[in-house]
Amino acid sequence: MEGTTDGVSADLPYELTASEALRAIRRRTLGVVELVRAVLDRIDAIEPQVRAWVMVDRAGALARARELERQFEDLSARPLFGIPVGLKDIYDARGLPTTAGFGPWRERMPPADATAVARLRQAGAIILGKTVTTQFAFADPPETRNPWNPERTPGGSSSGSAAAVAARMIPLALGSQTAGSILRPAAYCGVLGLKPTYGLVSRHGIVPLAWSLDHPGPIARSVEDLARVLGVLAGVDPCDPATRTARVGDYLAAVRHPGPPPVCLRLDDFFEAAEPLVSSQVSDALDLLARHGAEIRHARLVTDPRLVADAQQTIMQVEAAELHADLHAEMADHYAPRMRALVETGALVPATLYVRARRIAQRFRAEILALLADVDCLVLPTASNLAPDRSTTGDRRFQAPWSLIGFPALTIPAGLVDGLPCGLQVIAGLWQEERLFRIARWIEGVLPPLPAPRLGLRGGSVSMQ
């Protein structure tokens, strides 16, 4: 693969992407136990600075690594053979509690693996532990720090997953997005994140927030890794009816044949609404893509994107209120303030308002479908701003519209502004993840890679892509 660093010094295996590590394991230049030990050592070294983990299953991960080393002949059929993965702490994984950041659930053991987790294990992945989530995957600020600046938020709600991947504590992690909870933390932390098409990945065994908006998805440091893990996760699951029409593609094949230079539609409304430094950084990235052959067209939306974000908010609060009615009745005092307000406000919304929000979504979906008829993808900044201070998890208005209508969205680092990462968000049509990966892989080859954040004993000089 061009643009990868398969030749990286083997004494820093935690710096490898999942695909790079897999190739090293396949060549037998890296052992699975060796990789897991390196990752655990890295966590020991820098976790106190980042606080990305709820728990690390040291013994379980090492035992599984040893077991895999005895199954080396199965490697070719297992696209994540030996790869350590972090799980946002709303995913059920046998033997580990699922807390969802909720105090009373500290010891809550799940009955079985979530479907996504079972698929990861089947593919040879090693569940390394649980990463920090905001409470119930909503918006109350977590303890996790942004690896680029400990005073800034890593974003939320997949805070630990994004921070751990950015800090090179793990090559891959799963997150979830209801408004902007995969793409925003990925962008704030300078890594890649994917929110797949609604219904492509099963939610069975994942603590829900809002059933018509919840999307599981991966966070990683390369497009190839996102494609690799999506190939493992995607598909119909009888336990999640939303997946019944899932259309799965060959994602790894797509990243192996990137390009041609895409036709991108730049959504000007978002560039105008973003902070000027973000807007100009992402515009510069698009200019660079254009110089390499991409065609950048401009569009302005008919449906006000602020209205769309409000519609997403209404639907989210109502569905959260419905899901939490019983638990909130029993344990309101244990709820974090923003989550509590979400549920309590949601219970007051009249159904006619919810339906109006759905109709706004339908109109917006039709508009986006029409826009995508003539181009390969839409492009906009992933967030309106750089990671703000830790009193908030950031601004979800740029990610929420795509969660509302279920279209796939991918964020890719577009450089640093004032020492903080900035993301370029790429949107494709429903079930068009193959196309999205081809485009993203092409973009990844054009944009300059981010350095790693300065962290820990080895911090500062590590460049990964």
Stretch of 46-54, 76-84, 302-310, 352-360 contacting a copy of itself, by CB under 8 A: 352-360
Binding segment (CB under 8 A) for a copy of itself, from list 4-12, 247-255, 361-369, 393-401 = 361-369
Sign of CA dihedral 16, 20, 24, 26: positive
- Is residue 181 part of the annotated active site? The answer reads yes
Structural contact between residues 82 and 126, judged by C-beta atoms closer than 8 angstroms: yes
CB of 400 to a copy of itself, least distance (A): 18
Contact assessment for residue 428 and residue 408, using Cβ atoms and an 8 Å cutoff: yes
Under the binding rule (CB under 8 A), the answer on residue 372 touching a copy of itself is no
Q: Does 355 bind a copy of itself (CB under 8 A)?
A: yes
- What is the footprint of a copy of itself within residues 163-222 (CB under 8 A)? 211-212
349 binding a copy of itself? (CB under 8 A): yes
88 carries an active-site annotation: yes
Helix (H) or strand (E) holding 308: helix 305-331
**What is the C-alpha to C-alpha distance for residues 457 and 370, in angstroms, rounded to an integer?**
51
Q: CB–CB of 167/50 below 8 Å? A: yes
State yes or no: residue 297 binds a copy of itself (CB under 8 A): no
Distance separating alpha carbons of residues 170 and 83, to the nearest angstrom: 9
- Residues 136 and 140: their CA atoms lie apart, in Å, by 9
CA distance 389 to 387: 7
Taking Cα atoms as reference points, which of 86, 88, 108, 89 lies closest to residue 97? Answer: 108
Using the rule CB under 8 A, is 108 a contact of a copy of itself?
A: no
Which residue from 66, 108, 244, 298 is in contact with a copy of itself, where contact means CB under 8 A? 244
The residue within the footprint of a copy of itself, chosen from 151, 297, 359, 418 (CB under 8 A), is: 359
Q: With binding defined as CB under 8 A, does residue 39 bind a copy of itself? A: no
Exposed, middle or buried: residue 406 (CB in 10 Å: 0-12, 13-18, 19+)? buried
For tokens 């992407």, what's the residue? 17
Which residue in the list 19, 181, 222, 279 is annotated as catalytic?
181
Site stretch for a copy of itself (CB under 8 A), options 55-63, 65-73, 166-174, 341-349? 341-349
Q: Based on the shown chain and the rule CB under 8 A, indicate whether residue 397 belongs to the binding site for a copy of itself.
A: no
Q: How far apart are CA 374 and CA 421, in angstroms?
A: 31
Q: Is 260 in the site for a copy of itself (CB under 8 A)?
A: no
Residues in the chain: 465
**Is 68 in a helix, a strand, or coil?**
helix
Q: Which is nearer to a copy of itself, 74 or 374 (CB)?
A: 374
Each residue 317-336 as x (binds a copy of itself by CB under 8 A) or -, in order, gives -xx-xx--x-----------
Residues that bind a copy of itself (CB under 8 A): 211-212, 238, 241, 244, 314, 318-319, 321-322, 325, 346-356, 358-359, 362-363, 365-366, 369-370
Catalytic residue ranges: 88, 157, 181
